Amino acid sequence: MQSTALLLVDIQNDFIPGGSLAVPQGDTIVKVNNQLQQHFNLVVATQDWHPSGHISFASEHANHKVFESIKIDGIDQTLWPEHCVQNSWGADFHPDLNTQKVEAIFRKGTNPKIDSYSAFFDNAHLKSTGLTGYLKEKGVKHIYFTGLAADICVYFSIKDALQEGFKCTLIEDATKALDQNIYEKQKHELSALGVQYVTSDKFTLV
């Protein structure tokens, strides 16, 4: 039975230097992610996949700026640069990312009216991506996380994975944060919840 899976979160052009919402040094994780895949029988990826005019884009809100936080239907929403628009270059996986072992791709952020950071649910937990059911049907109990950005989509994916009953490990040199200070605070929070942190050079399946 397949008990572990590698989840590649949003390794897309817009989150890489040169993209519209670039994560510092985001390009440095691609090679590590390629190397890690050989250790797993099951590799799954997510893809931010926004329609044009998505509600999370600052350009959709007059008199508001990029990275400003507002309330939309009672939910805190950071306003982002336009990014990962469906069928655009920015939404494509980084060209050097090996996707041959990726068995399934789960797209998120497709509803124009609500943002979706987590690989499992939108930000209001109104709609599931189906990832939980997919992994559980495969017998997965332990998810190893990589990807971008560590403090946003990876963080919220791990939080939801814990709620869904999965054991979670973050491979630190296979992810990068948009805000390193926020990431360090989150690391303390997630460690207290049982999340493990490893690096690829010491990588062993457990």
The arithmetic mean of pLDDT across residues 168-189, rounded, is 97
Say how far apart CA 177 and CA 179 lie, in whole Å.
5
Clarify whether 92 is annotated catalytic.
no
pLDDT at position 202 over 90:
no
Q: What is the pLDDT of residues 63-102, one digit of tens each?
A: 999 999 999 988 899 999 999 999 999 999 999 999 999 9
Q: Residue 135: what are its φ and ψ, rounded to 5°?
A: -65, -40
* Residue 179 placed within a domain: yes
* CB environment 4-32: b (16+ within 10 A), e (fewer): bbbbbbbbbbbbbeebbbbbeebbebbeb
Q: What's the DSSP call for residue 18?
A: T
Is 76 a member of any domain?
Answer: no
Q: What is the pLDDT of residue 73?
A: 87
Does the residue 68 lie in any domain? no
Active-site entry in 153, 159, 168, 187? 153
Judge whether residue 204 has pLDDT over 60: no
Give bridge partners of residue 160 from the DSSP assignment.
none
Residue 158 included in any domain: yes
The reply to whether 56 falls in a domain is: no
pTM: 0.95
Question: Domain of 10: which CATH number?
Answer: 3.40.50.850
9 found inside a domain: yes
Q: Does the residue 71 lie in any domain?
A: no
Of 10, 14, 115, 160, the catalytic one is 10
What mean pLDDT comes out for the span 143-151? Answer: 98
Q: What integer pLDDT is reported at residue 203 of this predicted model?
A: 73
pLDDT at 1 over 70: no
In a domain, 37, yes or no: yes
Active-site residue identified among 14, 27, 84, 108:
108
Q: Quickly state the pLDDT bin for 9 (edges 50, 70, 90).
A: very high
Is 115 labeled as catalytic in the residue annotation? no
Give the count of domains, the chain. 1
Q: 137 is in which domain, residue-wise?
A: 4-50+87-202
User: H-type helices in the chain, by residue range?
Assistant: 30-36, 131-137, 155-163, 180-192
φ, ψ for residue 55 (rounded to 5)?
-65, -20
